[in-house]
Amino acid sequence: MGLEIDAQEENHTWTIEDLPPGKRAIGSQWVYKVKHNSDGSVERYKARLVALGNKQKEGEDYGETFAPVAKMATVRLFLDVAVKRNWEIHQMDVHNAFLHGDLREEVYMKLPPGFEASHPNKVCRLRKALYGLKQAPRCWFEKLTTALKRYGFQQSLADYSLFTLVKGSVRIKILIYVDDLIITGNSQRATQQFKEYLASCFHMKDLGPLKYFLGIEVARSTTGIYICQRKYALDIISETGLLGVKPANFPLEQNHKLGLSTSPLLTDPQRYRRLVGRLIYLAVTRLDLAFSVHILARFMQEPREDHWAAALRVVRYLKADPGQGVFLRRSGDFQITGWCDSDWAGDPMSRRSVTGYFVQFGDSPISWKTKKQDTVSKSSAEAEYRAMSFLASELLWLKQLLFSLGVSHVQPMIMCCDSKSAIYIATNPVFHERTKHIEIDYHFVRDEFVKGVITPRHVGTTSQLADIFTKPLGRDCFSAFRIKLGIRNLYAPT
């Protein structure tokens, strides 16, 4: 706590003043945390002073609050491009990142608990952002962005957390997630000079080659990069008390009736919401959980005992292989291939269809999603067509993101669909009876086909990789699709 206060004063985070008439001071509290390494060992003990931002009033002591963070698809594509080009990947961390942001608003805070006696009847006039303030993330991101642009970086329009530097033959890419930075480039010397520049601007910690990022374990070999969340998965299993149970072979019963369940409501719904929230983050590297987590997340408002039992079954499935993850291959071409599928009228309550898509860059899994469609589709062909439109948006975004990473994807992107009717609708604008009621914005996929940006490809149902994202599958089908998706268990402690 003393070190935290010293850091605040050294950074000139506040000045001690009298509270002006008509102003009010928000409170603060201490937050304690034990930081662990990827192997579970204790890294350090941490005390952080946090302002009670829930007492702030919009327009009085804060305005805009939004600050971008990197999308997980961007993280995976960033790593995949770096490994395909055989670039080194480094990680840096900013000490007390939010303390670097400059405040524009007039914010007063009571003295920190335990230090009130040093200046009785005084308050802190915050000059820089503090953890807990609603505008703190935005202030820090603006400060970091200014420093990067001053060095010559350009901010990507595809993902505002991605910055690129091009100077002659030198290429440096940096990806930002709040105070964690991933850096890669084709020149070790230029990368080191950039690190020194950052250290001169902020209090940085150089963590060396990327190994552990946002709870994601990263292992690199000559054949590629393996990312998993083994420790995070084991924490989930331990927290639910299922370390000693028999593992399940697949996460969700094939003929489940969770949407129609009439079992008693949970007396403590908070534990269900916490578990599902953790499973959602685990799906960052476990694409085999996408559909199961999508189903469980539907019942966050009023979870029942059947829903809790289904969530525990997913945890039992995790126990079979907690170290599973995604392998980003060094070999392979720079071709984007997308797979889309739909389960027509899959929701028994609303009869809306479920869309699933899966995108590969070469042979590496990059992006995937399960999503219930916004409207009811009148036919399976319409549901598949909406899935194609949904995937087309993702493909166009990934192509723009690749351009920011210095990769020019001039060849058409491939879209694999198992519905010939949907492909005919997209390539032939004559099916008026089938398409006149479909919203105009869905027809943009047809324009991308005409322009040659995306080319459709029909695949059989058994070869449709996105099938696992639209419906629950039995043990044999689930295991077969999991292998095809590129899910591996290559865990090796780093």
- The per-residue pLDDT for range 103-153, each reduced to its tens digit, is 888 899 999 988 877 777 889 999 988 889 999 999 999 999 999 999 999
pLDDT number for residue 435: 66
Task: Tokens 């033959």: give the residue.
Answer: 169
pLDDT number for residue 469: 92
- On whether residue 150 sits in a domain, the answer given is yes
- Which of the listed residues 262, 289, 320 is the one where a domain comes to its end? 320
Same domain assignment for residues 166 and 210 = yes
pLDDT at 165 over 60: yes
- On whether residue 490 sits in a domain, the answer given is no
Of residues 238 and 434, the one with the higher pLDDT is 238
Token readout for 98 is 């939010």
The predicted model gives 46-56 an average pLDDT of 90
Token readout for 156 is 């990507």
Same domain assignment for residues 407 and 269 = no
- On whether residue 131 sits in a domain, the answer given is yes
pLDDT number for residue 40: 77
Token readout for 138 is 């935005």
The predicted model gives 200-222 an average pLDDT of 91
- Percentage helix, strand, coil for the chain under 3-state DSSP, each rounded to 5: 35, 25, 35
Q: What percent of the chain is predicted at pLDDT more than 90?
A: 57
Residue-wise pLDDT for 251-310, tens only, equals: 999 888 888 888 999 999 999 999 999 999 999 999 999 999 999 999 999 999 999 999
Same domain assignment for residues 279 and 381 = no
- On whether residue 171 sits in a domain, the answer given is yes
Same domain assignment for residues 260 and 205 = no
Check: CB of residue 111 under 8 Å from CB of residue 123. yes
Q: How confident is the model at residue 61 (pLDDT cuts 50, 70, 90)?
A: confident
Q: How confident is the model at residue 494 (pLDDT cuts 50, 70, 90)?
A: very low
Same domain assignment for residues 29 and 144 = yes
Same domain assignment for residues 436 and 374 = yes
Domain that holds residue 34: 2-214
Same domain assignment for residues 370 and 306 = no
pLDDT number for residue 144: 94
Q: How far apart are CA 159 and CA 173, in angstroms?
A: 12
- On whether residue 228 sits in a domain, the answer given is no
- On whether residue 484 sits in a domain, the answer given is no
Of the candidate ranges 22-26, 102-106, 107-111, 484-488, the one whose mean pLDDT is the lowest? 484-488
Task: Tokens 């914005």: give the residue.
Answer: 441
Same domain assignment for residues 267 and 314 = yes
Strand partners for 365: 360
The pLDDT mean for the chain works out to 89
pLDDT number for residue 64: 87
Question: Which of the 8 DSSP states describes residue 153?
Answer: -
The predicted model gives 344-370 an average pLDDT of 90
Question: Which of the 8 DSSP states describes residue 466?
Answer: G
Question: Which of the 8 DSSP states describes residue 289?
Answer: G
pLDDT at 200 over 60: yes
Number of structural domains (the chain) is 3
Neighbours of 417 (CB within 10 A): 25
Q: What percent of the chain is predicted at pLDDT more than 70?
A: 96
The predicted model gives 214-221 an average pLDDT of 91
Q: How many CA atoms lie within 13 A of 382 on its CB side?
A: 19
Residue-wise pLDDT for 375-428, tens only, equals: 888 888 889 999 999 999 999 999 999 999 999 999 999 999 999 988 888 887
pLDDT at 492 over 60: no
- Which of the listed residues 288, 320, 352 is the one where a domain comes to its end? 320
Same domain assignment for residues 172 and 28 = yes
Token readout for 62 is 């804060």
Check: CB of residue 290 under 8 Å from CB of residue 370. yes
Of residues 482 and 416, the one with the higher pLDDT is 416
The predicted model gives 26-55 an average pLDDT of 87
- Which of the listed residues 181, 214, 247 is the one where a domain comes to its end? 214
Same domain assignment for residues 157 and 65 = yes
Q: Where are the alpha helices (DSSP H) in 92-225?
A: 136-151, 188-201
Q: How confident is the model at residue 432 (pLDDT cuts 50, 70, 90)?
A: low
Token readout for 146 is 């200014």
The predicted model gives 447-470 an average pLDDT of 90
pLDDT at 437 over 80: no
- On whether residue 483 sits in a domain, the answer given is no
Token readout for 9 is 């004063």
Same domain assignment for residues 191 and 58 = yes
pLDDT at 201 over 50: yes
Check: CB of residue 462 under 8 Å from CB of residue 298. no
The predicted model gives 81-108 an average pLDDT of 90
The predicted model gives 233-260 an average pLDDT of 90
Same domain assignment for residues 157 and 275 = no
Neighbours of 358 (CB within 10 A): 30
- On whether residue 472 sits in a domain, the answer given is no
CATH number at residue 373: 3.30.420.10
Q: Where are the alpha helices (DSSP H) in 267-356?
A: 269-282, 290-297, 305-320
